[in-house]
Structure formats: structure tokens, C-alpha cells
Amino acid sequence: MTWSIGIDVGSVSAKGVIFNGEKWDYIVIPTGWMPRQAGKEVLDQLLRKADIGLDNVGIIVGTGYGRVNLDFTHKTFSEIVCHARGAHYLFPQTQGIIDIGGQDSKAIAIDSEGKVKDFILNDKCAAGTGRFLQVMAQVLGYEVSELGERCGTTEPVEIGSMCAVFAESEIIGLLAQGVSQERIVAGVLLSIARRVGTMAAKLNLGPHVTFCGGVAQNQVLQHFLKEHTGWEMEAPEKPQLVGALGAAIIGYELCGGGK
Amino acid sequence: MRAKTMEYFDQLIPKGMVLAKEAKEQGKPVVGYYCVFSPIELIEAAGAIPVGLCATKQEPIAEAEKILPRNLCPMVKSSFGFAISGKCPFFHFSDFVLAETTCDGKKKMYELLSEHKPMIVLDIPNSATLEDLNEHWLKQIYRAKEYFEKNLGTEISREKLREVIKVYNEERKLIMELVSLNKHHPTPITGTDLLKVLWGRSFQFNRQEFLDQVKALITELKEMVANGQFSCSPDSPRILVTGCPTGVGQEKVMGIIQECGGAVVLQESCSGIKGFVDLVDEAKDPFLALAEKYNKIPCACVSPNKGRLSLLSKLVEDFRVDGVVDITLQACHTYNIESYSVKEHLRKNHNIPLLQIETDYSESDTEQIKLRVEAFLEMLK
Ligand code: SF4
Ligand code: SF4
């Protein structure tokens, strides 16, 4: 049986997926300072987990910003194409992807075969990326992963600043005024949902959209995005794995689909 | 594989400086201009040398920002910076400058520049549907004619102008023939080399020598095609570049497209074929013919700018283009806004995708551009 491996080395974590046409398994580890080493570690762990040797692997496909550092991959593809394939595999009816990553956020329009039709990226300004959430969570003394639980269904406070740096001081001001932390957290999530939603609206994705990236499981953020765009949002169980999965699927097809 | 004749064009711009200096020493006047709307045949017919001053380098921008706002198109800042810092020999050698009222950034920059150099600013209407467009332009052509005659102490006769128009038309036809060789797949010449020829044109003042070299290049490229030698691989997606002018020194985005495996087939913008594609009508009165040619330049400063859409329609079909990259400069409102119309036009009528890259002259966004270009090329395959 032929296996393919997709490795997605991002700025925060390195993810790997191993795939044989039917089932897949994964590994996630922190990227740390050495993207190459992290990628190699992911590969070794995947092989151990699947209990196979490298000679059972038909192809290794790299993606993510650290892919250039991986000298053991056979092919590399951009995150955009890999996300499209991964999301299409998980949700065949999906027409688009919204991904909020640590460094950038993106919207991708895909056709019925999982091919990219169009895409748009924000990597110039922190305000529309996971970085914004990180900075805001820090000010409030939370982890990004807790933000969802920290606001419940409270009325979000309006955060006007478009820039991460200004928003930070705005929040400090709001705290000083005695605005509740819950409302501020909700406000932060609403603000990023609006930014990313507006970017995605340029591509006219809907109505079936896959929400990826580390914060996609955040129910409140999902809800705000849904409200802002009017689209149905589905988040995979492991939303940060979509890129690596897509890379593994593309690889599987390239090496002849196990035949 | 690269044509050997390209070595001549590699040297054009560096050599141009020497040529301008020599011409100047021999008492030949030099007139600078910035824009494809400039009727440069008039300059040549007045016995002066036209030189393009439109700047594409990052270097003088810091100097320019001492006076100009930061949030301004890099082309305006670079041009201004070069001019006031005395670092552009062409500006230095220019007796005066032929400017024009196109975008707001340039218009206001010219006001400041006029303190450093005498200039005539052509009044170019921003409306493409102006009722008396031809008459308006004709008046401007005559204004320029009188200004040149007065300041250069010459007379621009109809005969002389006709002669120049003929030579310039000849050149346009040849350049379009050269560009048309890239209808072939794979392409015989890269987009960045084509740019070198088209941009370099303004730095060679001996028109006959330039014509001969373009002819030699065409012959060589034809031989390459016959021998199966090309500038890209057979699976390279064919890319048309449009948008703001991106001249030599600003090939960043085109370089990335080529590096990532795309073939830049041609450039529609002002640094590409925009000024070459239409001829001046030799059968008409030469002044009127100039007015009619130049008022049809399909620039985003003009509204509505339907000419650009129809030109693009023709080019994407003729050159069997797979994807269009629209390079827009930061703070260039006209081209940034028009990008949407161009994208929709290509999607609806040709099912061709467009990637907009908004950039400036610095290298800081190279990786970000690469990411987009790679994904775009993968998407086309
Ligand atoms: S883009 Fe417009 S304003 Fe700029 S050089 Fe071309 S014609 Fe002139
Ligand atoms: S690129 Fe745009 S803003 Fe810059 S000079 Fe040309 S028209 Fe003006």
C-alpha cells in the first residue's frame, strides 16, 4: 500500500498528515526556531505512528511558509492550493474557505473539484490575523484558545481601531472605564470577524464556507462571521490540519493514487 | 535561452546618459517628459531630444519624502526625488520639461517641480467623453508647439513633423512585431527582456540605430523559434501584465512571476505596449493626427476608461493568455480602483483570472508577493 505525506510548517506549529487514499492520521508539534528540524520531526513521528518505513511512502509534499526549508520533500505547493484540496476532501460541497492564521488570513474560492478559482490574502496588517487576537488576549491576560469561553453571549463593545497597536490602547482605555472583560472579548472577536468577513466578501464565496485555522473552533467567532457574511460556516474538527491534509491528498494523486 | 542581440539592449540605459551628455555638449537641446500622453514627436520635430524622466527606483524616495507626503505613489516620489536631488542626469540635462495633468499626485508634484525647471503642463482632460475632445487636444498640441518654438528658437513645420511621425510609426510597427513573436508558445523572449527593449527605447536617441537593433532581434528570435529554442518551458502559464507603469529598475513582480515558472508574455501598461499599439494617422494633418492619437491612450486617469478593457480583451485572446497580473502602485487610486473593473471584465467575458499585486519600489514585500504569485500560477495549471 502506498502512503503519501503532507507537511505544513507554519510560523507557530508544524503539522503533518499521512494518507493512504482512505484513512489519514496526523501529528502537530510546535515549530520552534528550526522549521527544518520541526518538519523532520513531524515526518519521523508520522512514520512511527503509522508503523511504516519511509519506503512505503510514495511522496512527501511540503506546504506552509517553512516549506522552503524542507529538503526532504519531493514537491511543494502553496498553502492556498493545499487548503482548497483539504477543505474539499472534508466538505465536498464547500465553495470557499476562510482561514485565520497566525501570520496572515485568507479567503479562497474553490470549484466543485476542489480547485482554486480565486483567492485573497491579508499578510500586511496584523489587524485581520490571529496576531491581533494574540495581542488582545495578552492584554486581557488570557490564552487565545480561551477567548471563546470568555465572552459567552454578552453584547460586544464597539472597538473602533483598525490597527492592532491602537486597538491595544483602546482596550486598556475600555478596561479603565470599567467595561466588562466579557464585552471586550466579544468586541475583539466581532472586530476580527468584520475585517476578515469583509475581505472574504470580495470573492463572493458562499453559501457553504469552511472555516480553518487555529481559531476556527471558536464558536463565538464562527457566529459573528456567519452573521457578517450571511454564509454557512463549517469548521473541521482539527481546523489547523487542513493544509497538511490537502498536501497529502495532492501527493497521493501525484504518485498515482496508490495504484 | 536568450537572444544575443539583447546585449545591445542591456547597455542602452547606461549608455543613454553618455549620449545625452554628448548631445548636450554639441548644443543639442534636451526635453524631458514623464508620461505616455506626451506627444514626443513634437519634441523631435523641434530638433530636440526627448528623454523619459519617469523614475522607478527606491533610492531617491527618502529625499522626496522630506517634502512630499509618505502616502503617495512611489513613481511620483521617485521622480521628484531624482529631480530635486540632482541625481538624475536626464533631468539635469533637460532644457525644460513637458508635463501633463493626469493624476492628482503628478499634477501637484509638477507644481513643486516647476521651481526647479521650466516646464509646460499640457492640459489633459480627465473625461473620455468630452464633446470637443479632439479640438481640446489640438489646442494643447499647438500650445506645446508654440512653447517649443519660442524656447528652442526653431520652427516646427508640417513637413518636419510628418517625417518624424513616419519614423515613429515605423518604430511602433516594429515593436509590435517584436512583441507579437510572443504569441508563440513557448515564448521566445521573456517579459523582462521585452521591457528592456521597450523602456530602453527612450534612452537611444539615434532612431535608426534602435530600429536596426530591433530588426536584428526580431530576426534572431524568429530563428530561435524555428530551432525550437525558447525563453520559458512548455508548461509555463502565459501571463499578461497590466496596471501602473513598471519600468526597468522595477521588474520586481515580473521577475518573481518568471522565477516561479510563469511566462510574462507581454505588458499592456505604459512601460509595455500602451503607447505603441496605435499609430498616428499619416494621411491627416499631422497636428490633428497627434491630437487624435494621444487622446486615446487608455489610462486609468481618464474616465470612463473603456479603451483599456477592449485592448485587454484583444490581447488576452491574441496572445492566448492564461492569467493576468495587475500591478498597482500604492496610493495610485485610479489603477487600484480600476483593478476591480478589469478583473470582472476578464472573468465575465474571457473566464480569465486576475491577480492584483499592490506594491511599491521597496523590496520589503518580496516574500508576500511570491506567496501570491506561486498560488496564482498553481491555480492556472
Ligand atoms: S499610467 Fe497614465 S499617467 Fe501614468 S504614464 Fe501612463 S498614461 Fe501617463
Ligand atoms: S502610477 Fe498612478 S499615482 Fe502613480 S503617477 Fe501613475 S497614475 Fe499617478
Please state the ipTM of this predicted complex. Answer: 0.86
Whether residues A214 and A186 share a domain: the answer is yes
pLDDT at B161: 98
Would you state the cell numbers that stand for residue B375, as one nine-digit string?
498560488
**Confidence bin at A243 (pLDDT 50/70/90):** very high
User: In CATH, what number is assigned to the domain containing residue A184?
Assistant: 3.30.420.40
Q: How close B315 gets to chain A, by Cα (Å)?
A: 22
pLDDT at A68: 87
Residue of the CA atom closest to atom 6 of ligand 1: B270
pLDDT at A11: 81
Reply yes or no on whether the pLDDT at A149 is more than 70.
yes
For chain B, the structural domain boundaries read 6-157, 160-380
Whether residues A107 and A199 share a domain: the answer is yes
Helices B306-318 and B333-350 cross at an angle (nearest 10°) of 50
CB neighbours of B271 closer than 8 A, spacing ≥ 6? B195, B198, B199, B245, B246, B247
Whether B378 sits inside 8 A of A80 (CB atoms) is yes
**Confidence bin at B160 (pLDDT 50/70/90):** very high
Write the residue in B353, B368, B378 that is nearest to A123 by C-beta. B368
**Confidence bin at B360 (pLDDT 50/70/90):** very high
B335 within ligand 1 shell (Cβ under 6 A): no
Query: Look-up: residue for cell 481559531?
Result: A215
Reply yes or no on whether the pLDDT at A226 is more than 70.
yes
Q: How far from chain centre, in Å, is Cα A90?
A: 14
Number of alpha carbons in the 13 Å side-chain half-sphere of residue A9? 25
Ligand 1 atom closest to the Cα of residue B102 is 3
Buried b (16+ CB within 10 A) or exposed e, A225-252: bbebbebebbbbebbbbbbbbbbbbbbb
In whole angstroms, give the CA distance from residue A19 to residue A83: 15
In whole angstroms, give the CA distance from residue B272 to residue B245: 8
Whether A117 sits inside 8 A of B379 (CB atoms) is yes
Task: Quote the ligand 2 centre to A206 CA distance (angstroms).
Answer: 35
Residues of A with Cβ-Cβ distance to B379 under 8 angstroms: 80-81, 115-117, 119
Task: Quote the ligand 1 centre to A73 CA distance (angstroms).
Answer: 45
Whether residues A170 and A59 share a domain: the answer is no
Residues of A with Cβ-Cβ distance to B375 under 8 angstroms: 78-81, 116, 119
Whether residues A56 and A180 share a domain: the answer is no
Domain residues for the domain of A230 are: 93-235
Task: Quote the ligand 2 centre to B368 CA distance (angstroms).
Answer: 22
Task: Quote the ligand 2 centre to B307 CA distance (angstroms).
Answer: 18
In whole angstroms, give the CA distance from residue A151 to residue A143: 13
Hey, which of B33, B34, B36 would you mutate to test ligand 1's pocket, going by the most ligand atoms within 8 Å of its Cβ? B36
In whole angstroms, give the CA distance from residue B127 to residue B142: 20
Kindly report, residue by residue over A174-205, the tens digit of the pLDDT. 989 988 888 999 998 999 999 999 999 989 88
State which CATH number among 3.30.230.70, 3.10.310.10, 3.40.50.11890, 3.40.50.720 fits the domain covering B6-157.
Answer: 3.40.50.11890
Task: Report which listed range, A9-18, A117-126, B143-152, is most confident.
Answer: B143-152
Reply yes or no on whether the pLDDT at A258 is more than 70.
no
One-letter amino acid at B99 equals A
Whether the CB of B378 is below 8 Å from some CB of chain A: the reply is yes
Whether residues A247 and A175 share a domain: the answer is no
Task: Quote the ligand 2 centre to B77 CA distance (angstroms).
Answer: 10
Whether residues A86 and A103 share a domain: the answer is no
Whether residues A229 and A131 share a domain: the answer is yes
Ligand nearest, relative to CA of residue B73: 2
Whether the CB of A247 is below 8 Å from some CB of chain B: the reply is no
Residue of the CA atom closest to atom 7 of ligand 2: B103
The alpha-helical segments, DSSP class H, found in chain A are: 35-50, 79-90, 130-140, 164-176, 181-201, 219-229, 242-254
Write the residue in B353, B368, B371 that is nearest to A78 by C-beta. B371
Cβ within 8 Å of B, A 56-75? 65
Whether residues A154 and A218 share a domain: the answer is yes
pLDDT at A154: 80
Average pLDDT for residues B4-20, to the nearest whole number?
A: 91
Whether residues A13 and A134 share a domain: the answer is no
One-letter amino acid at B187 equals T
| Residue of B334, B340, B294 lying closest to B125 (CA atoms) | B294
Reply yes or no on whether the pLDDT at A1 is more than 80.
no
Ligand 1 atom closest to the Cα of residue B301 is 2
Would you state the cell numbers that stand for residue B269, as one nine-digit string?
501598461
Task: Quote the ligand 2 centre to B297 CA distance (angstroms).
Answer: 14
Q: pLDDT exceeding 70 applies to what percent of chain A?
A: 99
Cβ within 8 Å of B, A 74-93? 77-81
Whether residues A130 and A87 share a domain: the answer is no
Whether residues A54 and A177 share a domain: the answer is no
**Chain A residue with Cα closest to B351:** A117
**Chain B residue with Cα closest to A115:** B379
Work out whether strand B354-359 and strand B323-329 pair parallel, antiparallel, or are unpaired: parallel
Whether A116 sits inside 8 A of B371 (CB atoms) is no
pLDDT at A143: 85
Reply yes or no on whether the pLDDT at A87 is more than 60.
yes
**Confidence bin at A153 (pLDDT 50/70/90):** confident
Average pLDDT for residues A53-57, to the nearest whole number?
A: 92
B35 within ligand 1 shell (Cβ under 6 A): yes
Whether residues A12 and A82 share a domain: the answer is yes
Ligand nearest, relative to CA of residue B338: 2
Write the residue in B353, B368, B378 that is nearest to A77 by C-beta. B378
Write the residue in A78, A81, A118 that is nearest to B353 by C-beta. A118
Hey, which of B54, B75, B270 would you mutate to test ligand 2's pocket, going by the most ligand atoms within 8 Å of its Cβ? B75
Whether B379 sits inside 8 A of A79 (CB atoms) is no
Would you state the cell numbers that stand for residue B110, as one nine-digit string?
509638477
CATH class of the B160-380 domain in this structure: alpha beta
pLDDT at B36: 96
Q: Are A77 and A7 in contact (CB under 8 A)?
A: no
Instruction: Choose the mutation target among B324, B358, B371 for the interface with A, i.e. most A CBs under 10 Å.
Output: B371
Task: Quote the ligand 2 centre to B272 CA distance (angstroms).
Answer: 15
Whether B379 sits inside 8 A of A77 (CB atoms) is no
In whole angstroms, give the CA distance from residue A148 to residue A189: 9
Q: pLDDT exceeding 90 applies to what percent of chain A?
A: 59
B244 within ligand 2 shell (Cβ under 6 A): yes
Whether the CB of B366 is below 8 Å from some CB of chain A: the reply is no
pLDDT at A145: 81
Kindly report, residue by residue over B260-317, the tens digit of the pLDDT. 999 999 999 999 999 999 999 999 999 999 999 999 999 999 999 999 999 999 999 9
Hey, which of B38, B98, B103 would you mutate to test ligand 1's pocket, going by the most ligand atoms within 8 Å of its Cβ? B103
Q: How close B320 gets to chain A, by Cα (Å)?
A: 19
Domain count of the fold of chain A: 2
Let me know if the fold of B6-157 is the same as that of B160-380.
Answer: yes
